[in-house]
Amino acid sequence: MSRNRNAWLRRFPPVAGADGPGEPAACELVCFPHAGGSAAYWRRLALELGPAVDVTAVQYPGRLDRFGEVPVEDLHRLADLVVEALGAPGDRPLALLGHSMGASVAYEVAVRLARLPGREPRLLAVSSRRAPYTPGRRRPDWPRNDAELVARVRKLGETESALLDDPEMLEVILPALRGDYRALASYEPTPGRTLTCPVVALTGDRDPDVPVDDVRGWRECTSGAFRVRVFEGGHFYLTDHTSEVADLMRRLLPAPAG
């Protein structure tokens, strides 16, 4: 196990401490949060999937228990660091799930793992994120200052957006948001059909930032199976559809032996 794994990956005690030894988890699902988000965003999904699936969540620098660290303002560098933290392969298959910015990080991690013999994930799930390359689409206009940044977060309807009304909390949240959006603004995706694993793209039907047609372009990232699942809701549809997403993951992820 990488010595950096505990700094980057979080497990949730109710899942890790399930009653009795039980059967080992069939696979590990690594989850990547959105811009400004933390590993805690995935707690509800971990509770839904455990203990059959071992859910771990990436904790980016600059938030919660990593608040004193400088946010990584380059998504490629961020992906490199996560791959390093994952370390040598374990004895269980690995799957990746990323939401919004986290979908891009998960994709770049999958690309890097696919270059290593036997390391490509069993599944890449991308949520609320445009495909890396959408023909005819111009680059989005990213926030130029804090006021535009806060307005964008409010527009997306992030569940934590109420914290933006508290000036003290805003000062705590802004450094991570700034760093993440700088990383998004400079991000150039790894091009080409780089994967062979299945890819599933999840999105909300009323997402103000991600049209459903732009999600279908993820098909071009893999030579393997591809599917799209559209839920009712906006950019953070997952908050209201955690159980349905968990059901979908159960069907797509490796099942326990026997």
Give the span between the Cα atoms of 197 and 119, in whole angstroms.
Answer: 11
* 100 belongs to the catalytic site: yes
Tokens of 30: 């690594």
211 and 183 in contact (C-beta within 8 Å)?
Answer: no
Q: What does the alpha-carbon distance between residue 210 and residue 197 come to, in Å, rounded to a whole number?
A: 23
Q: Which of 100, 104, 127, 128 is catalytic?
A: 100
Quote the CA–CA distance of 168 and 148 in Å, as a whole number.
18
For 182, list phi and psi in degrees, rounded to 5. Answer: -65, -40
Q: Which two tokens stand for residue 66?
A: 């990593």
Question: Three-state DSSP class for 68?
Answer: coil
Largest Cα span, the chain: 55
Tell me how far apart the alpha carbons of residues 221 and 110 are, in angstroms, rounded to a whole number: 11
Structure tokens at 132: 């890396």
What is d(CA 7, CA 242) in angstroms, rounded to the nearest whole number?
A: 26
**Residues carrying an active site annotation:** 100
